[in-house]
Amino acid sequence: MKLRCLLIDDEPPALKVLANYISAINGLEIVGQCRNAIEALGILQQKTVDVIFLDIKMPRILGTEFLKNLSHPPKVIFVTAYREYAVDGFELDAVDYLVKPVSFERFFKAITKLNRMIGQDISTVTTSETTNSAAFVYLKVDKDMKKIFVNEIDYIESWKDYVKVFLSDGKHFLVKQSISAMENLLSEHKFMRVHRSYMVSLSKIAGYNGLSVQLAQKEIPIGRLYKQTVMERLQLK
């Protein structure tokens, strides 16, 4: 059974990001999107809601005050630009407190936490089958969350506090993210860390030896600490 989600945020772009994230996860469905708490009350009276994604600073009434006035509230995940309300949020038994801009990775962690609390397993990305060409992730490029199809990624290179994501068409994007976080994000999509500074798509490897893996347009070094794991993984590829 899918969890029914209600989105409450006075910023349309924020609602759009949440809706895109939810559409990428099995077991979640949207039953309503509201710009303020007054609209939300109407939906809660008409529909069954399992989890609310709730902004805090909204017109007329704060999200925290709205939640306090619900007699039997569903699970709540706060999504806000204001860190200072975190204590209030957790005192209201929120599942999680997400600070905007929210990466898909952070959103995914919140859903995993929600699943543990309610005893369901719904956190698989709908497009996570590695053979599915529609698999995608959202990555923060400049100030926008950019949709990147997983099968278009050749390799990722660590770049100080960022990573460079290199695509098959020759384009690349600088993303505010650590390579370790990218490794976790893409763990379901047959990517492999081959060096402290590189991870590659297994499907894009054309050849390898004890020192490197070869892609169509790039030769990637294999780090000494990663060599045994890489060799074992490639022999099973």
pLDDT in tens, 183-236: 877 876 789 999 999 999 999 999 999 999 999 889 999 999 999 989 988 876
Residue 123 predicted with pLDDT over 70: no
pLDDT confidence bin for 141, thresholds 50/70/90: confident
In angstroms and rounded to an integer, the radius of gyration of the C-alpha atoms of the chain is 20
Work out the average pLDDT over 146-169. Answer: 91
Residue 168 predicted with pLDDT over 60: yes
Q: What is the mean pLDDT of the chain?
A: 86
Share of residues in the chain with pLDDT > 70 (%): 91
Question: What domains does the chain contain, in order, with CATH numbers?
Answer: 3-118 (3.40.50.2300), 136-235 (2.40.50.1020)
Least confident of 83-87, 165-169, 205-209, 227-231: 83-87
**What does the pLDDT look like over 97-116, one tens digit per residue?**
999 888 888 898 899 888 88
pLDDT of residue 126: 44
Return the half-sphere exposure (C-beta side, CA atoms, 13 A cut-off) of residue 48: 5
Place of tokens 């039997």: 72
Work out the average pLDDT over 155-163. Answer: 92
Residue 178 predicted with pLDDT over 80: yes
Work out the average pLDDT over 132-157. Answer: 83
CA 84-87-88 angle, 5° bins? 95
pLDDT confidence bin for 59, thresholds 50/70/90: confident
Residue 72 predicted with pLDDT over 80: yes
pLDDT of residue 122: 44
Backbone angles phi, psi at 13, to 5 degrees: -60, -35
Sheet of 144-149: strand order equals 144-149, 136-141, 172-175, 162-167, 153-159, 198-201, 191-195
Residues 6+ apart with CB under 8 A from 39: 8
63 vs 234: which has the higher pLDDT: 63
Cα–Cα distance for residue pair 134/171, rounded to 1 Å? 19
Residues 6+ apart with CB under 8 A from 116: none
Cα–Cα distance for residue pair 29/23, rounded to 1 Å? 7
pLDDT of residue 124: 41
Work out the average pLDDT over 5-22. Answer: 93
Torsion region of 27: left, alpha or beta (phi above 0 gives left; psi -120 to 50 gives alpha): left
Cα–Cα distance for residue pair 178/144, rounded to 1 Å? 17
pLDDT of residue 98: 93
Helix (H) or strand (E) holding 60: none
218 vs 120: which has the higher pLDDT: 218
